[in-house]
Amino acid sequence: MNDTNAPFPRLDAEIPWLTTEQMIEVDRAMIEDYGIELIQMMENAGRSLALVAKLRFLQGAPGGRRVAVLAGPGGNGGGAMVAARRLAAWGADVQVFVTAEDKMTPVPAHQLSILKSMDVPVQRADALAPDLDVALILDGVIGYALRGDPRGLAATAIEWANGHAASILALDAPSGVDTTTGQVFSPAIQADATVTLALPKEGLRAPGVSEHVGELYLADISVPPGLYSSAALGLQVPPIFAASDVLRLR
């Protein structure tokens, strides 16, 4: 593990931690009530993931560094592919490995098409080789849509990452960890750090899950303040991202 802390301020304020159901409501309200499209949220998530990758794990100099991006078919995969695009534009040698291209929802599929237009190498996750030389692995395989043990190419990608010597940076939650209960399924990513979105997830502070989460960062995806205080959620959240789009939680 890289031991150099990234220059992100620590969050000292008390804030709510969300269940999976509450985060689903946040996403729904952003899209349906405020007109903030998924592609906008995904762009914010991926940019923050790329920033943490660059400043925390690539010493602020991604040029020529090799990064493997593991992308599932949903929102987490889309955010990871946004990060892949950013890192490639910053000069990193990025390779993307997808677990279910045929099942990608439209917005992640759009992100994949951009990467292909940029000539970023994209392969199926079963092409992952044990001796692949990378400095960093980005985990965007499964987010809060996890339902039981990862299977198929998702399991292949997770097992490959855990067996590799490179550091692992997870988006929102380590793939294979339930975001409400913290239950660790098999296999589950053992991340060196996790960039969770909007507000931290309850499952990421469950007993025994810290070895899968690693360092915990919180990233702004531009949730309107009034959304949290709505009748559906009833939460009070101060303007926590005023100082930085990314904050260190632990």
CA atoms within 13 A on the CB side of 22: 21
Residues in the chain: 250
Closest to 27 in 3D by CA, of 15, 17, 39? 39
Closest to 110 in 3D by CA, of 18, 39, 209? 39
User: Can you tell me the distance from the alpha carbon of 148 to that of 102, in angstroms, rounded to the nearest whole number?
Assistant: 21
Q: For residue 122, what are the β-bridge partners?
A: 96
Q: What is the pLDDT along the chain (250 residues), one digit of tens a residue?
A: 343 455 899 998 899 999 999 999 999 999 999 999 999 999 999 999 999 999 999 999 999 999 999 999 999 999 999 999 999 999 999 999 999 999 999 999 999 999 999 999 999 999 999 999 999 999 999 988 888 999 999 999 999 999 999 999 999 999 999 999 999 999 999 999 999 999 999 999 999 999 999 999 999 999 998 999 999 999 999 999 999 999 999 9
The model's pLDDT over 141-188, given as tens digits with 9 standing for 90+, comes to 998 888 899 999 999 999 999 999 999 999 999 999 999 999 999 999
Q: How would DSSP label each residue in 169-221?
A: EEESS-TTB-TTT--B-SS----SEEEEESS-BGGGGSTT-HHHH-EEEEE--
Alpha-carbon distances of 206 from 183, 200, 210, 213, 219, rounded to whole Å: 8, 12, 8, 10, 20
> What secondary structure letter does DSSP report for 19?
-
Which CATH superfamily includes the segment(s) 20-248?
YjeF N-terminal domain (3.40.50.10260)
- For CA atoms 236, 241, 243, 248, give the dihedral sign: positive
Ordered by start, the domain boundaries in the chain are 20-248
Alpha-carbon distances of 4 from 7, 143, 168, 245, rounded to whole Å: 9, 27, 15, 19
The model's pLDDT over 229-245, given as tens digits with 9 standing for 90+, comes to 999 999 999 999 999 99
User: Can you tell me the distance from the alpha carbon of 184 to that of 173, in angstroms, rounded to the nearest whole number?
Assistant: 11
Q: How would DSSP label each residue in 120-178?
A: --EEEGGG--TT---SEEEEES--TT--SS--HHHHHHHHHHHTSSSEEEEESS-TTB-
Q: In the numeric block, which tokens belong to residue 30?
A: 């952003």
User: Can you tell me the distance from the alpha carbon of 220 to that of 199, in angstroms, rounded to the nearest whole number?
Assistant: 8
**What backbone phi and psi angles, to 5 degrees, belong to 197?**
-115, 140
User: Can you tell me the distance from the alpha carbon of 202 to that of 190, in angstroms, rounded to the nearest whole number?
Assistant: 18
User: Can you tell me the distance from the alpha carbon of 188 to that of 68, in angstroms, rounded to the nearest whole number?
Assistant: 17
